[in-house]
Every structure is written in C-alpha cells, then in structure tokens.
Amino acid sequence: MTELTLHQRRRDPTADELAGVPWLRVLQPAEYQRAADAIKVGDALPGDYVCRVGRPVTYWFGVVEGLLKMSSGNEEGQTMTFTGVPPGGWFGEGTALKRETYRYNIQALRKSVVAGLPVDTFHWLLDHSIGFNRFVMNQLNERLGQFIAAREIDRMNNPDLRVARSLASLFNPVLYPGVGQVLRITQQELAYLVGLSRQRVNEALAVLQAQGCIRVEYGGLRVLDLEGLRTTTGQRPAVPAATTPRAVA
C-alpha cells in the first residue's frame, strides 16, 4: 500500500491550531473568515518534504507544532542548511508573492503540524487587507536580516559563535512568535541546523550556559539573554564540568 503524501493527508485545522496562526489576529472579521476557511493543515512525519526545489508554489506555509529545516543541495550532493523553522514561523512569502518555483527544500526534522494558506487566498488578502500587508512586509524585512546574519554565520570559524547566532535566529520574536522563551529542540536537531557535530554543539551549549545566555532544560533550551546570544564574542569562560548540558536528548 502506497503511503499518503503530506498533501494527501491535509485536513481542516482545529480551533487550537487556528489560534496558533499569528497573522490571523490582524485581519478584519470578513478577511479572517475567508482565510480560516481556506487554511489546511497536514501532519508531517520526520523526513517529509513540505516544499521541494523546482516545485511550483501552491501554498504559503507555517509551522503550528514541530520543527522544519530550510536547505538546498548542489550538484556534488552537498547540502547547505539556511535556517530552522520553529512553531509560529511562516515562510516562503517571497516565492508566493512572485508565484515562482521553490529554490529550497523544506523538510520536517520531527513530527510536525504544518499549515498552508492557498496562494490565491494569499494574494486576495494582499489585495484587500492592510493588516495582512503590514504583516507580510514585516516578515520580508525580518527575513532579509535573518539571511544576512546566516551569511555571516557561514563565515564564522568559531563553533560557539555559530551555535549562539543560530539559536538567536530561532528565538526571533517576529518570525517565530510561537517559540516564546523555550525552544523544544534536541542537540542532534540543532547540530543538523548549525552544521556541526552533536558533540561540538554540546560543548557550545555548555559555554553559552556558563555565560548566562541560555539554560538547558529537559527536551529544550530556555533563552535567558537573547541579546547576549546576538552579541557574544565567543570568548570562553571557565566552564566547570558539572555545567556541561545533558538534559537535551
């Protein structure tokens, strides 16, 4: 029996899932109803592709629960990861605006709930909703800053800095309002996103915890100093062995 694709598994969202869509809050009642009626959600399994390079855009996507990664590959088979997409994040607005094909892959790192707004409804909202236009404009502005930062991260030779800046991007309150202060992520998932080994990520987390930027908790990370993650120089303090984080699986 052929396994159903993510698109074939789409369904109507629950009330709680709709409540987790941040841009619905800026719509007028008639706009909200049109959008809410059009949104579909899908239960993505680890490894499922939400978007693939070269496929035409059909939806504007967002993460209700779980964690996705945005990446692309080259002819040599090497993969470059651009960013992770945690809960509350919506992505691909530039592709949806231009109705282009995707230039990147979006893949589920764990079991996730992904929401999609049909691209025709996306354009209807652009034509009729001032609040929606402002939301998309803010998204594009933040996204530009995010990818400039990602370019800088790629050039960093200090692994501690790479982890710090990557974490800071995942805690962006504009792009990912569903994260809050705690990000549910494993060391292995973070290693995939940063492009380092799990062991090296573990060492970097110990440094950032000793600096007071984060606290490692069971199943995730709590940010204590977001500005510290953005500005840390990567200079290592003395880290007692007892502070080495072990809580994140």
Distances (CA, A) of 185 to 80, 84, 86, 191, 192: 20, 11, 9, 10, 11
Long-range pairs for 171-177: beta carbons < 8 A, 24 or more residues apart: 171/223, 171/226, 171/229, 172/142, 172/146, 174/138, 174/139, 174/142, 175/89, 175/139, 175/142, 175/143, 175/146, 176/85, 176/86, 176/87, 176/88, 176/89, 177/22, 177/88
Query: Which pLDDT belongs to residue 235?
Result: 62
pLDDT number for residue 201:
94
What does the alpha-carbon distance between residue 245 and residue 44 come to, in Å, rounded to a whole number? 29
User: How confident is the model at residue 112, as a pLDDT?
Assistant: 95
pLDDT in tens, the chain (249 residues): 456 788 888 899 999 999 999 999 999 999 999 999 999 999 999 999 999 999 999 999 999 999 999 988 766 666 777 788 999 999 999 999 999 999 999 999 999 999 999 999 999 999 999 999 999 999 998 888 877 776 676 666 788 988 998 899 899 888 998 888 899 998 899 998 888 899 999 999 999 999 999 999 988 999 999 999 988 766 665 545 445 555 555
The full length of the chain comes to 249
Strand ranges of the sheet holding 105-108, from the earlier edge strand across to the other edge: 49-51, 105-108, 68-73, 79-85
How confident is the model at residue 55, as a pLDDT? 94
Complete domains list, the chain, with CATH:
15-151 (2.60.120.10), 158-243 (1.10.10.10)
Distance CA(177)–CA(189), nearest Å, equals 20
* Global confidence as pTM: 0.83
DSSP state, residue 62: E
For residue 5, what pLDDT is reported?
Answer: 80
Q: CB-based contacts of 154: which residues, under 8 Å, 6+ apart?
A: none
**What is the C-alpha to C-alpha distance for residues 27 and 132, in angstroms, rounded to an integer?**
7
Q: State whether residue 41 is helix, strand or coil.
A: strand
Joined tokens for residue 173: 């309150």
* pLDDT for 153: 66
| CA–CA distance, 10 with 214 (Å, rounded to integer) | 36
Element (H, E) at 189: helix 187-194
> Environment class of residue 116 by beta-carbon count within 10 Å: exposed (0-12), middle (13-18) or buried (19+)?
buried
* Residue in the block written with tokens 């402002």: 134
β-pair type (49-51, 79-85): unpaired
What is the reported pLDDT for 234? 61
